[in-house]
Amino acid sequence: MAVCAAVGCRSADPASTLAQIRARGVLTYGADLQGGEPYLYEDPKDPSHLLGFEVDIMDALARRLGVRAQMKQYAWSNLVPSLQRGDFDIAMNGLEATADRAQQITLSTPYFVYAETLAVRRGAPYHTLADLAGKRVGTLNQTVAHDILRAQPVEPVLYEGNEEPYADLVQQRTEAVLLDNIIARRYGCIPSKPEVVCLDGDVALGTYVIGTRKTDPELAKAIDEAIAAMRADGELERILRKANLWDARQTGPFPEVAPDAGVRARSFDFEQAKLFAEGAGYTLFISLLAFLLAVPIGMLLAVARVYGGPLARGAARVYVELFRGTPVLLQLYVLYYGLAPWWSLGPVTAAILGLGLNYGAYEAEVYRGALLGMPRGQTEAAKALGLGPWQTLWHVLVPQAMRLALPPMTNDFVSLLKDSSLVSVITVIELTKRMTIAAVDLRGWLVPGLACALLYLALSVPLSELARRLERRLARDQRPHAL
Asked if 427 and 476 touch (Cβ cutoff 8 Å), the reply is no
Q: Is 474 an interacting residue with respect to other proteins (CB under 8 A)?
A: yes
Q: Based on CB atoms, which residue is closest to other proteins, 26 or 402?
A: 402
Output the furthest CA–CA distance in the chain (Å, rounded): 95
Q: Based on CB atoms, which residue is closest to other proteins, 280 or 295?
A: 295
What is the nearest approach in angstroms of other proteins to the Cβ of residue 305?
Answer: 21
What is the nearest approach in angstroms of other proteins to the Cβ of residue 403?
Answer: 6
Q: Based on CB atoms, which residue is closest to other proteins, 44 or 375?
A: 375
Stretch that binds other proteins, among 13-21, 150-158, 168-176, 470-478 (CB under 8 A): 470-478
Per CB under 8 A, the list member of 377, 480, 481, 483 interacting with other proteins is 377
Contacts by residues 155-158 (CB-CB < 8 Å, ≥ 24 positions apart): 157/427, 158/427, 158/429, 158/433, 158/437
Of 301, 288, 312, the residue nearest 401 (C-alpha): 301
Residue 168's alpha-carbon distances to 381, 434, 482, in angstroms, are: 56, 21, 59
Q: Based on CB atoms, which residue is closest to other proteins, 325 or 375?
A: 375
What is the nearest approach in angstroms of other proteins to the Cβ of residue 481?
Answer: 12
Strand bridging mode 112-121 / 176-180: antiparallel
Q: Based on CB atoms, which residue is closest to other proteins, 253 or 480?
A: 480
What is the nearest approach in angstroms of other proteins to the Cβ of residue 381?
Answer: 4
Of 428, 422, 427, 404, the residue nearest 477 (C-alpha): 404
Residues of span 108-137 touching other proteins by CB under 8 A:
none
Helix (H) or strand (E) holding 5: helix 2-7
List for the chain the helix, strand, coil content (%; round to 5): 60, 15, 30
Per CB under 8 A, the list member of 244, 378, 453, 462 interacting with other proteins is 378
Residues of span 386-425 touching other proteins by CB under 8 A:
386-388, 391, 395-396, 399-400, 403
Q: Based on CB atoms, which residue is closest to other proteins, 244 or 391?
A: 391
Q: Based on CB atoms, which residue is closest to other proteins, 46 or 477?
A: 477
Per CB under 8 A, the list member of 380, 446, 468, 472 interacting with other proteins is 380
Q: Is 454 an interacting residue with respect to other proteins (CB under 8 A)?
A: no
Report how many residues bind other proteins under the rule CB under 8 A: 21
Per CB under 8 A, the list member of 123, 269, 477, 480 interacting with other proteins is 477
Q: Based on CB atoms, which residue is closest to other proteins, 24 or 395?
A: 395
Of 345, 320, 348, the residue nearest 334 (C-alpha): 345
Q: DSSP assignment of 132-200, as one string?
A: GTTSEEEEETTSHHHHHHHTTTSEEEEESSSHHHHHHHHTTS-SEEEEEHHHIIIIISSTT-TTEEEPS
Q: Is 314 an interacting residue with respect to other proteins (CB under 8 A)?
A: no
Of 217, 120, 216, 110, the residue nearest 168 (C-alpha): 120
Stretch that binds other proteins, among 216-224, 346-354, 443-451, 471-479 (CB under 8 A): 471-479
Per CB under 8 A, the list member of 383, 411, 415, 464 interacting with other proteins is 383
What is the nearest approach in angstroms of other proteins to the Cβ of residue 401?
Answer: 10
Asked if 364 and 297 touch (Cβ cutoff 8 Å), the reply is yes
Q: For residue 307, is it left (φ>0), alpha (ψ between -120 and 50) or beta? A: alpha
Torsion of Cα atoms, 186 then 192 then 195 then 199, to 10°: 30
Q: Is 275 an interacting residue with respect to other proteins (CB under 8 A)?
A: no
Q: Is 381 an interacting residue with respect to other proteins (CB under 8 A)?
A: yes
Sign of the Cα torsion 6, 9, 13, 18 reads positive
What is the nearest approach in angstroms of other proteins to the Cβ of residue 394?
Answer: 9
Interface residue list for other proteins (CB under 8 A): 375, 377-378, 380-388, 391, 395-396, 399-400, 403, 474, 476-477
